[in-house]
Amino acid sequence: MTDIAAQLEQIRDRGLYRRLRMISGPQGPRVLLDGDPVLLLCSNNYLGLADHPRVREAAADAAMRWGVGAGASRLVSGNMTVHRRLEEQLAEFKGSGACVLFGSGYLANAGVISSLARAGEVVFSDELNHASIVDGCRLARAETFVYDHCDPDHLEWGLREAGGRGALIVTDGVFSMDGDIAPLEEIVELAQRYDARVMVDEAHSTGTMGPGGRGAVADAGLEDEVDVVVGTLGKSLGSYGAYACCDKRMAKYLVNTARTLIFSTALPPPAVAGAMAALELLVEQPGRVDKLARNAEAMRDALSAEGLDAGISETQILPVVVGDPHAAMDACERALRQGVFCQAIRPPTVPDGSSRLRITVMASHTPSELRWAAGVIARAVHEVAPQREQVPARPAAASSGVFDGYAEAA
Ligand SMILES: *Cc1c(COP(=O)(O)O)cnc(C)c1O
């Protein structure tokens, strides 16, 4: 039996202890954190829609019209008109034939991957894919080949080695901890050559890039080439839940095989209606996406002026790698004392030796707030790592390059 106290002690010793902080009041560019006002720089509420009056009202109205809970799985009695309506609107937005809602992005990834990668097959996964993709690969009966980050040559080597068993290639569109963009054109080309399907997770690209915020797949013009586009309703769309956009036949297949959809209660109507209102705002006001991009540039420039390098990021996610987990936490607490909240991110969320402050900007920040915050963050980072240059290159994840790569990974 696990000795819980000893495990916790070990987690502490390694600098990986986590505790829950507390926000009072709604999400916004500034929040009350554990009682103190801070500038929020680690939220995925990129477009500032989580607390938008129209989104709140839509959720409140939905609670009055349809109640709070769906009461059952969608395949039993939980499927309601409001679910279908959001699916139609998301399919139209993403230019897909169909859309299937899931309980969350985590559940969508777990369900879709295990449906599409079956026993005797191989699923190919970027080494820096999100944990929910890792867990989807583990849940699937297929073997997993983990390819080097954004490396089509390594992916191709694996596809060749798999000798026709390759079923699915899965990648984040924008990588959640590094802010770089997957080489989707090359991935699609390899998938076609080796007869595999492609799934892209647009958790951080929907609402943030591509025409009108339609995402990384739309940005690359690959809507007809990618088999399943997964995204969450919990980030740019300000609510909770997730979707898989695909063609009609794939949608029927997922409804029949994705266990995380079949065996989990349908989304609450207020969450669905809130996301629908956020999607409408995004379509009506695409300027929010441009504002986010301008803020990301402003923050990148401000960090650079302070001597900090946001690595390979091309987006609103700007990692400042510190390296050691204790030092990253120390920098986080120092910035917090000056009123800037950007949570330190440590293993297993990121590879060993690459603990970081993961800065995310929102459309609702002002450029002067961002410039001020960059100065605070730079001072905090330089205080904890004065003699050392920022760690430039990211060490590779341990599991890359082997079949069944996630069997051992943390
Ligand atoms: C946040 C995230 C998810 C999970 O989505 P939830 O709706 O929060 O469960 C999946 N994939 C990526 C890349 C994410 O960043």
Tens digit of each residue's pLDDT (9 = 90 or more) over 195-240? 999 999 999 999 999 999 999 999 999 999 999 999 999 999 999 9
Neighbours of 117 (CB within 10 A): 28
Give exposure, 300-336, as e/b (b: 16+ Cβ within 10 Å).
bebbeebebbbbebebbbbbbbbbbbbbbbbbbebbb
* Atom 4 of ligand 1, nearest CA residue: 105
Q: Is 248 a catalytic residue?
A: no
Is the distance from CB of 410 to CB of 127 less than 8 angstroms? no
Average pLDDT, the chain: 95
Three-state secondary structure call for residue 347? coil
Q: Is 235 a catalytic residue?
A: yes
Give residue 161 CA to ligand 1 midpoint distance, Å: 30
Question: Catalytic pick from 83, 149, 204, 365?
Answer: 204
Pocket probe mutation, ligand 1, options 44, 176, 236, max atoms within 8 Å of Cβ: 176
The predicted-structure confidence for 4-50, as pLDDT tens digits, reads as follows 999 999 999 999 999 999 999 999 999 999 999 999 999 999 999 99
* Atom 7 of ligand 1, nearest CA residue: 105
Report the atom number in ligand 1 closest to the C-alpha of 44: 1
Which are the contacts of 136, defined by CB distance < 8 A and separation ≥ 6? 109, 110, 111, 112, 113, 114, 170
Domain spans of the chain?
19-48+286-384, 53-284
The predicted-structure confidence for 162-171, as pLDDT tens digits, reads as follows 999 999 999 9
User: Considering the entire predicted model, what is its pTM?
Assistant: 0.95
> Distance (Å, rounded) from C-alpha 217 to C-alpha 182?
10
Radius of gyration of the chain (CA): 21
Instruction: Give the mean pLDDT of 369-397.
Output: 79
Whether the domain at 19-48+286-384 and the domain at 53-284 fall into the same CATH topology: no
Tell how strand 317-323 and strand 23-24 pair up.
unpaired
Quick one: fold of 19-48+286-384?
Aspartate Aminotransferase, domain 1 (3.90.1150)
Q: 53-284 in CATH: which number?
A: 3.40.640.10
Q: Is 291 a catalytic residue?
A: no
